[in-house]
Amino acid sequence: MSSIVVDRVSKSYDAVEAVKESQFSVEKGELFGLIGPDGAGKSTLFKMMTTLLIPDTGDILIEGFHTVREYKKIRKIIGYMPGRFSLYQDLSVEENLQFFATIFGTTIQANYHLIEEIYTQIEPFRKRRAGKLSGGMKQKLALCCALIHEPKVLFLDEPTTGVDAVSRAEFWDMLKRLKSKGITIIVSTPYMDEASLCERIALIQTGEILRIDSPENIIHGFDKPLFAVSAQNFYQLLQDLRTQPFTERVEAFGEFLHLTTKEAISTEKIEAFLNFKGHREIEIHPTTATIEDVFLDLI
């Protein structure tokens, strides 16, 4: 039995179709990612999976329970960290944790082993009000509160948005360790570089799932010629390449531009064109796609 089954689910808000015929399943103990920008429908999916919103059409099962007919059973066995910080700002770190443990009829001591690693990092601040914590600390406390009743499935809606690169890396390390304890984890993120940390991902845009597969397979599926190009005047380089008939798309990727061409072309030919345009310090080499290249190609 799959841990999560989403079967042809749609949801509209007035005229806006937030989720269109979504379909996917997540296996027990899997780390599954929903990857897409703001407005893609990620949060709406999360709200339906966590029984907070009723789908217009379609069904969702969590650990075999139906999200509409059996919502009470589901609420006992899931942990949910919403995209917006939802703990009590005027309660202390310790009080928040105590509160969530009590609500779920358990104690901090009973499940301390699950949160120990994370909680020890925020313990020095246990008397501080949650509203006064930094972004990274808030995120760690929210994860502790979502874990304190030992859930079978963990729903994390954009846990790393607006969090610095170091805290993000630490957070993903924690997720891997939780996964090793057998918890199913579904996580959404707008950061494409985090996609590769999931076992399988769904790329999602304006309510539609564009592709579901492992990150490796999604990258292998990209079969167009792709080059990394740089030169002294980056902005001019972008403008010049964009006007070329051989160019399918060209975008900034870190210190290089990624150039996708319509058909195979030699690096010499591209270089000759750039020399002709007067570019200096030209660097050009074929490169492999990233999840972000695939995403840009799909939308």
Partner 1 sequence: MSQIQNVIEAQALTKIFGDFKAVNAISFDVKAGEIFGFLGANGAGKTTAIKMLIGLSRPSEGEATVAGYDVYQQTEQIKENIGYMSQKFSLYEDLTVRENINFYGGIYGLSRRQIRQKTSEIIEQLGLENHARKLVGSLPLGWKQRLAFAVAGVHDPKIIFLDEPTGGVDPATRRQFWEMLYAAADRGVTIFVTTHYMDEAEYCDRISIMVAGRIDALGSPRELKQQFSANTMDEVFLKLVRD
Residues lying near partner 1 in the complex (CB under 8 A): 36-40, 134-136, 161-169, 190-193, 205, 234-235, 238, 251-255, 292, 295-296, 299
CB 231 within 8 A of CB 281: yes
Residue with tokens 């959404």: 188
Q: How far is the CB of 135 from partner 1 (least distance, A)?
A: 4
Residue 204: enclosing H or E segment and its boundaries? strand 200-205
CA distances, 62 to each of 4, 69, 165, 241 (Å): 5, 12, 32, 49
Q: How far is the CB of 169 from partner 1 (least distance, A)?
A: 6
CB 114 within 8 A of CB 100: no
Q: How far is the CB of 238 from partner 1 (least distance, A)?
A: 7
Nearer to partner 1, 248 or 251 (CB): 251
Residue 109: enclosing H or E segment and its boundaries? none
Nearer to partner 1, 79 or 136 (CB): 136
Nearer to partner 1, 50 or 139 (CB): 139
**Residues 26, 268: Cα–Cα separation, whole Å:** 46
**Residues 140, 42: Cα–Cα separation, whole Å:** 21
**Residues 101, 145: Cα–Cα separation, whole Å:** 8
Nearer to partner 1, 178 or 210 (CB): 210
Pairing assessment for the beta strands 184-189 and 31-35 based on DSSP bridges: parallel
Q: How far is the CB of 95 from partner 1 (least distance, A)?
A: 22
**Residues 214, 159: Cα–Cα separation, whole Å:** 21
Sequence-distant (6+) residues with CB within 8 A of 230 are 237, 255, 256, 257, 281, 282, 283, 284
Nearer to partner 1, 149 or 168 (CB): 168
Residue 107: CB atoms within 10 A of its CB come to: 12
Nearer to partner 1, 54 or 169 (CB): 169
Nearer to partner 1, 77 or 238 (CB): 238
Residue 142: CB atoms within 10 A of its CB come to: 23
Q: How far is the CB of 144 from partner 1 (least distance, A)?
A: 18
Q: How far is the CB of 265 from partner 1 (least distance, A)?
A: 22
**Residues 3, 96: Cα–Cα separation, whole Å:** 28
Nearer to partner 1, 152 or 224 (CB): 224
Q: Describe the strand order of the beta sheet including 153-157 as a list of residue ranges.
A: 78-81, 153-157, 184-189, 31-35, 200-205, 208-213
Q: How far is the CB of 233 from partner 1 (least distance, A)?
A: 9
